[in-house]
Amino acid sequence: MTSTVPEIHRGLAGVVADTTAISTVIAETNSLTYRGYPVQDLAARCSFEEVAYLLWYGELPDPGELREFRAQERALRPLDRTTAEVLARLPATCHPMDVLRTAVSFIGAEDPREDDGTPAANLAKSLTLLARLPGVVAADHRRRHGLAPIQPDPDLSYAENFFHMCFGAVPDAEVVRCFEISLILYAEHSFNASTFTARVVTSTLSDLYSAVTAAIGALKGPLHGGANEAVMHMLTEIGDPQRAGQWLDEALAAQRKIMGFGHRVYKAGDSRVPIMQEATERLIARAGDPDVTRLAALHAALRHAMISRKGIHPNLDYPAGLAYHLMGFDIPAFTPLFVMSRITGWSAHITEQLAHNALIRPLASYDGPGQRPVPPT
């Protein structure tokens, strides 16, 4: 009998695991669409709330639908006392992504709604998370700075309210818009690692909170969402634009991964980068501060050096990491900001997975020891 060696797709690279109608990443043209709309157009013309609605319901909302959606999200914003107390009791050293993961798990444990797995039930839970996660991230941000939490303001948009809860003030419209653009660009990206994680959990017919908790764990890693934090740590380590080239040569010689560069799907540039880079440059221009000018020069020098040395282009985390720093967030908050956005894409995929579910369970090619007897005791 002849045995055939199966083809291994390490990291599932190149494997088409299912269909999706939510978004498409077209590597050849470096483009990305959400429900058929180019992401650049959504970033230029829509609010984050409209994009969330689009991802969940398949169409952009009309004015009445948007009004209703916004009202529901705003009403769900306040954190209940027990959730706030649980989060306040976590160790001060707890990474904000661990705080967020715990928060989703706890909010799920407290949700009395039956888990009937219908799209309506899942979207109601998704809306709860969309509305509450900013309060968790903001309260944790303030706790790290020794400050008391600030209650949400129902008169403010999703993006404005988040600044209000973090800093007690809403910055000027340019900063809010740059943040909102980052939320729109981070919202959805097909079968990326965290979304696929959410789909794997959902495929077992587990609940939405379990799927989102697992997805947060997957996003935390520096090869995925954690890269936006790693970008800022790397820029801080390099320090000076003049050092960028030499630092890069040494890092590449030491086989280090350069954070914020490269992508599993895009090989000639990430479609989201030009939009985010442009918005970040508006923040740089308005800062008029020598430290910001130096940081921006370093950011540009490293990008140039990486493209010319390796031909590897930045991904969204590269401009987003710098933008979040310029907006005043501390580095550990960066990946949680990604979660506040990606909750929309994860939820859409959870609903889609359930609509035509098949248990996700690949095979493995065994390469351990041959069969052998257990030694006698």
Q: Which of 264, 293, 300, 331 binds ligand ACO (CB under 6 A)?
A: 264
**Beta strand extents in the chain (DSSP E only):** 23-26, 31-34, 37-38
Within 158-217, the residues that bind ligand ACO by CB under 6 A are none
For ligand ACO, the closer of residues 2 and 255 by Cβ is 255
Tell whether residue 262 is a contact of ligand ACO (CB under 6 A).
Answer: yes
Tokens of 243: 């050092």
Other Cβ atoms closer than 10 A to 71: 11
Q: Which of 74, 101, 220, 263 binds ligand ACO (CB under 6 A)?
A: 263
Going by C-beta distance under 8 Å and a sequence separation of 6 or more, which residues neighbour residue 69?
49, 52, 53, 61
For ligand ACO, the closer of residues 178 and 265 by Cβ is 265
One character per residue 6-45, x = contact with ligand ACO (rule: CB under 6 A) = -----x----------------------------------
Contact 219, 225 (CB under 8 A): yes
For ligand ACO, the closer of residues 69 and 186 by Cβ is 186
For the CB of residue 231, give the shortest distance to ligand ACO in the complex, in Å. 7
Contact 318, 260 (CB under 8 A): yes
Tell whether residue 316 is a contact of ligand ACO (CB under 6 A).
Answer: yes
One character per residue 241-260, x = contact with ligand ACO (rule: CB under 6 A) = ----------------xxxx
Q: Which of 87, 129, 198, 227 binds ligand ACO (CB under 6 A)?
A: 227
For the CB of residue 66, give the shortest distance to ligand ACO in the complex, in Å. 27
For the CB of residue 224, give the shortest distance to ligand ACO in the complex, in Å. 4
Total binding residues toward ligand ACO, as defined by CB under 6 A: 17
CA-to-CA distance for 257 and 268, rounded, in angstroms? 17
For ligand ACO, the closer of residues 126 and 315 by Cβ is 315
The SS3 of residue 261 is strand
Tell whether residue 66 is a contact of ligand ACO (CB under 6 A).
Answer: no
Buried/exposed 300-326: b ≥16 CB within 10 Å, e otherwise: ebbbebbeeeeebbbbbbbbbbbbbbb
For the CB of residue 227, give the shortest distance to ligand ACO in the complex, in Å. 4
Tell whether residue 232 is a contact of ligand ACO (CB under 6 A).
Answer: no
CA-to-CA distance for 180 and 46, rounded, in angstroms? 9
Tell whether residue 317 is a contact of ligand ACO (CB under 6 A).
Answer: yes
CA-to-CA distance for 195 and 187, rounded, in angstroms? 11
- The CA-atom distances, in angstroms, between 148 and each of 138, 168, 329 are 10, 11, 16
Q: Which of 26, 71, 173, 223 binds ligand ACO (CB under 6 A)?
A: 223
Nearest 5°: the CA angle 177, 183, 188 is 145
For the CB of residue 261, give the shortest distance to ligand ACO in the complex, in Å. 4
Within 98-127, the residues that bind ligand ACO by CB under 6 A are none
For the CB of residue 222, give the shortest distance to ligand ACO in the complex, in Å. 6
Tell me which stretch binds ligand ACO (CB under 6 A): 28-36, 143-151, 312-320, 340-348.
Answer: 312-320
Catalytic center residues? 224, 263, 317
For ligand ACO, the closer of residues 108 and 314 by Cβ is 314
CA-to-CA distance for 151 and 131, rounded, in angstroms? 13
Tell whether residue 136 is a contact of ligand ACO (CB under 6 A).
Answer: no
CA-to-CA distance for 126 and 139, rounded, in angstroms? 20
Q: Which of 34, 261, 324, 334 binds ligand ACO (CB under 6 A)?
A: 261
For ligand ACO, the closer of residues 157 and 228 by Cβ is 228
DSSP state of 59: S
Query: How many alpha carbons lie under 13 Å from residue 197 in its C-beta half-sphere?
Result: 19
Going by C-beta distance under 8 Å and a sequence separation of 6 or more, which residues neighbour residue 43?
181, 184, 185, 275
Interacting residues with ligand ACO (CB under 6 A): 11, 223-225, 227, 257-264, 312, 315-317
